[in-house]
Structure 1
Amino acid sequence: MVLSKEEREALERKIRMKMRERLKGNANNSGLPWISQQPESKQDSSEQQSSEISPKIEELKNEVEKLRKENEELRKESEELKKRVAEAEAEAESKNSEKLSQILELLKKGTTTDESLLTELNVLRERLEEYERDKNFLMQQVETLSITLKNLTDSLKNIKEEETKKEEEKEEETKKEQKVKKKRWWIWR
C-alpha cells in the first residue's frame, strides 16, 4: 500500500493524537503501575488499565512499524523514479545529439527530403546569420574602440611630451636666471 505524502502525515498526526490521549488518560486516572502505595482496589484498577493499555501500545508500535516500512518503500520508489528520470534525460539528450548530427550531415550535403529537418535547418541558418551579424557588429565596435584607444594614447603621449617640454623650458629659464643673478652679483662687487 502506497500512501501519498498528505495521507502519511495525516496518519502520523492521528497516531500522535491517540498516544497523547492515552497518556493523558493514564495521568488523569493515576493508574501508573509504578505507584505501589495505593490500596488494593486502586492497584487492581491500575493493573487492569495497564493490561488494557499494553495491547494498544503494541497496536501503535505495529502501526509505526508499518509506516516505517511504507516510508522505506516510498524512498525506494522515489530513487527508482529518479533513476528513470535520469535515464529519460539521457535518452532525450542522445536523441537531440543524433538530430544535430543528422542536420550537420544534411548541411554538408546541402540537400534533404524530411520537412521537419528542413525547418530545423532553416532555423539554424537564421540563427547562424544572426550570429554573423552580431559578430560583424561587435567587430566594428572593437575596431572603433581600438581606434579611439589609439587616438587617446597618442593624445596622452602628446600631452606628456608638451609637459616635459614645458618643464625643461622652466628649468632652463631658472638656470638662466641663476646665471644672470650670479653675474650681477659679481658686477656689484
Structure 2
Amino acid sequence: MNKRKVKHLIYMGIVCLLLLVLSSIYAVLYNHGRLVEPMDFSTYTFHIKDTPMVLSGILLIIYIIYMTIFIIKYNMRKPVDTTHTKKLSPYLGFLGFFGFFGFAGFWTYNSAGIIYPFIFFIFFGFFGFYYDGKLSNTLRDELFEQNVKTASIKAYKTGFALLFIVIWGIGMGMLSKNLEWCAIFMLISISLIYALVLFLDKYYLYRLEKED
C-alpha cells in the first residue's frame, strides 16, 4: 500500500470527523442539541435542522465501510511474500483514533440504552500499525520468528493479567447492585484489554527487533 493512498484514506477520515464535529457544534448552538444530547429516539421525528448531523453521520458510516472494503481488497490482491514482512505505512496507525468513538457508548446508553458502541474501543489497538509500518519489508529469519513469538507471549500475559483483575473485581461483587453497569464495565474492559494486546504485540516486536 503506497503512502499516497494511505494519506488519501486518512485525509478522508479527518474530513468525516471534522464534518461530524462541525455538525455537532451547529446542533448545540442552533438546534437545541438534537442528535447530540441524550434524547428518546422512540419519539424522534425528523426536522430540517437535523440534516447536518444526519448527513455527517451517514458520511462517516460510508467512510468506515469504504475503508474496510479497501483494506480487504488490498490484502486479497497483494501477492504473499513469506520471506519478508508486509509493506505497510506507519500512517495506518492513525486508524487508532477511531477508538475514541467508543466514548459515544455513554451517549447512546443514556439516550437509548444501547451499549454496543463501546466495542469501538478495540480500534485503539490499531495504533500498533505504526510499529508494523516501521518493520515493513523486514527479513523473516529465525530470529525474527522467535521475536514474534516472544512479543506475542508478553502481550498475552499482560492481557490475561488485566482480564483476571477485571473478572476478580466482578466476582468480588463490584457493581453487583447494577447489572447494566456491570455489563457495560465488562464490555469496556474487554474491548480495551483486547486493544492493548493488539498494540503491545506490535510494540514489543518492534522493541525486540531494534534491540537486536
Q: Do they fold alike, i.e. is TM over 0.5?
A: no
TM-score, normalization: structure 2?
Answer: 0.28
| Structure ranking higher in helix proportion | 1
Higher RCO structure, 1 or 2 (CA under 8 Å, sep 6+): 2
Tell which structure's C-alpha radius of gyration is larger: 1
TM-score, normalization: structure 1?
Answer: 0.31
